[in-house]
Homo-oligomer: A and B are copies of this chain.
Amino acid sequence: METVPARRGRAVRLAAGQAIRIVNTHGTQVVDTWAFNAGDPGEFMSMEHLRGFIGSVFPKAGDALLTNRRRPILVLEEDTSPGRHDTVIAACDIHRYRMLGCGDYHDNCTDNLHAALAMIGFPRTETPSPLNLWMNIPIAADGGITWGEPLSKPGDHVLLRAQMDCVVVMSACPQDMIPINGKDCTPVEVHFAVID
């Protein structure tokens, strides 16, 4: 197993047919996740295209995850957690932490995305809205959203299988100013493995 260190991002190339298992090692960690067509950074997994296709704001095991050209890029093949993953909230960024009162630089998922892509030499892209694995954002009938704690338990995993050659990026969310990564507000590492 490889590690996404606490507060950091990692990018991994998958060939079509390969899969990535992402493990919520401690059970409390949100992982912002993106996927890009390996041959075209302008095509990427898109939450706004996905929701209409699956008829839900919460993807579940068996769902194909679509790109902005409405093609499957990943399939969520396995999910041992209660299936509460967020699709409606943007990746955190320097602006988010400034609005929460942080005066200095704060690690954030947006910068982690671009740093992780740079590490593997992938071209700079826009910042798609991420699939926030294990981020628990209930939506009420009146549209109101709640910032909950993850419902996952230590060792829960998802398995995402590539439907095209792609790059998957994970950011172990560095949010420590609200309890989105558990009540202790302590971002931790997660693990992953690429599976043929």
Contacts and interface: CB of A to CB of B under 8 A. Distances in A.
Interface stretch (A6-14, A89-97, A112-120): A89-97
Could you say which of A68, A88, A143, A144 has the most chain B C-beta atoms within 10 Å of its C-beta?
A143
A99 interface: yes
Copies of this subunit: 2
Given A52-B145, A143-B57, A96 B68 contact: no
Given A70-B95, A129-B48, A145-B52, A57 B139 contact: yes
A51 interface: yes
A183 interface: no
Given A139-B57, A139-B139, A145-B52, A69 B95 contact: yes
A127 interface: yes
Question: Majority SS of interface residues in chain A?
Answer: loop
Contacts of A49: 90
Interface string A40-59: 00000011110110011110
Nearest to A138: B141
A144 B90 contact: no
Interface string A10-39: 000000000000000000000000000000
A124 to B, nearest CB: 12
Interface in A110-134: 126-127, 129
Nearest to A50: B90
A140 interface: yes
A145 B90 contact: no
A138 to B, nearest CB: 8
Contacts of A71: 95
Given A48-B88, A52-B145, 4 more contacts: A47-B48, A47-B129, A58-B143, A69-B93
Interface of A: 46-49, 51-52, 55-58, 68-71, 88-90, 93, 95-96, 99, 126-127, 129, 138-145
